[in-house]
Amino acid sequence: MKSAMTSVRDRLIVALDFPTPAKALALVSVLSDAVSIYKIGLQLYTAAGPEIVRAVAATGAKIFLDLKLHDIPNTVAKAVGAAGELGVQMLTIHLSGGRAMLEAAASAKSPSLSLLGVTVLTSSTQETLSETGVSSTLESQVIRLGQLGKDCGIGGLITSPHEVRVLRERLGSEITLITPGVRPAWAAADDQKRFTTPAEALKSGADYLVIGRPITAAADPRAAVERLLDEIAD
């Protein structure tokens, strides 16, 4: 999807983290021509199912389906195939699922679907890794999983902005890097542990930024988008 990017506005992904489809669609209506890509995650997809994907896509927007697939290879492959038939452009998968799962996913995807591998969640810390039995440093784990994903045919990575620069250096320019954990200078950190400003993330080599609450919880979401874009431009 890199070739389609013509401005910072095209690199912004707004997270539709809402409990009901009505609230999500209301925001999409408000942002209309200001945003071209929306993330539909577990909360909204569980509440509304494939119909919310179709409804948002009907507005002309691109869909980033953030389900973070992690299961046996056959199950993941079938889910990837179903996402392709649904018409989404991006789909997340946990790289910690291992080579067999990742290769099955890559073989099942349609040409128009970009698989995005999750390295380490932006809410995680070194302590989180230790609690789950991972002895590597956080950065080493991100690099290891990123390389595994690339080797298995995964076209993009979801990663903290703190690891964007090293992943770009290690994996090259062809891999797509998408960063959640991005907070404008004027927004609260919420539950993110490893975050930077949008401008810092882009400067480090990010291709896309995923931003939710600074926009969705704002009194005026459209103004928040414009303020965010102005901050990046400055």
Q: Find all residues with CB under 8 Å of 24, minimum gap 6, and list them.
A: 16, 18, 40, 44, 48, 52, 56
68 included as an active-site residue: yes
Give the active site residue among 68, 78, 193, 203. 68
User: Distance (Å, rounded) from C-alpha 177 to C-alpha 161?
Assistant: 9
Residue 112 near residue 84 (C-beta atoms within 8 A): yes
The DSSP letter of residue 49 is T
CA distances from 173 to 72, 141, 230 (A): 30, 20, 26
The residues that are catalytic are 68
